[in-house]
Structure 1
Amino acid sequence: MASKSRSGRLELRVAPDEKEVIDRAAALSGSNTTDFVRSTMLAASREAIRAHEVIELTTEGSRIFVEALMDPSEPNENLRDLARGFGEIPAP
C-alpha cells in the first residue's frame, strides 16, 4: 500500500506530564508518538464533525418527526410573515 504524501504540518506544545501520557499511550498502542497523535486527532476530528452533521432521535422523537412529515400542519400567520421575509412565499 502506497503511503500518502504529507505536506501539512501541525505543531503542538504540551506540558511535560501531558507528553509523558501521550508517549506512553503511543507505546502501549504499538505506534510512535507522531502516528498515534495523527490517528487520535483524526478520529476525534471526524467524531466532532459527525456530531454536528448528524441528528440522532429517540424512538419518540422519530415518531413525532415522521408524523409531522406525513401530516404537516398549516403554517400560522407568524410563520408566513417570517417566510415572506426570506422570499419563500408571496404576500397574499
Structure 2
Amino acid sequence: MTAVETTKDFTRASGCSGVVLLYRAPVGECIHSVSRGTFDELRYVDTDHAVDVFAGRISGSFVQSWEAVGDTKGNEAGTKTGVSVFTHNLTVTSAPC
C-alpha cells in the first residue's frame, strides 16, 4: 500500500498486498480442500479520522473483518494509514501428492 498526503488533512492510499500465505501443507502433501473461500477484497472511500470496520465482503470468504485507517489528524500519510485483516478459522484438508 502507498499513501500520500495530497493536501492538508487529505490522504490518498492505494495498493495491493498480492498473495498472503495462510497455510503451507507438510512436505510431500498437497492441499485438497479449504473450508472457506480463498479470496476477499475491500474498496472504500474514507470520510473521517476514525478506524473503519467492515465485515468480509464476499460470502463464505476466509475474511471475518477488515479494519482500515485512511486519514488521521495531522500529516501522517504512510505511517498510520493501513489495513488489518481478521480471519475466520479455516480447516485445510491435505493428503500425500
- TM-score greater than 0.5 by the shorter chain: no
* Short-chain TM bin: under 0.3
Which structure is larger by alpha-carbon Rg, 1 or 2?
Answer: 1
TM-score (norm 2): 0.19
Question: Which protein has the bigger strand share?
Answer: 2
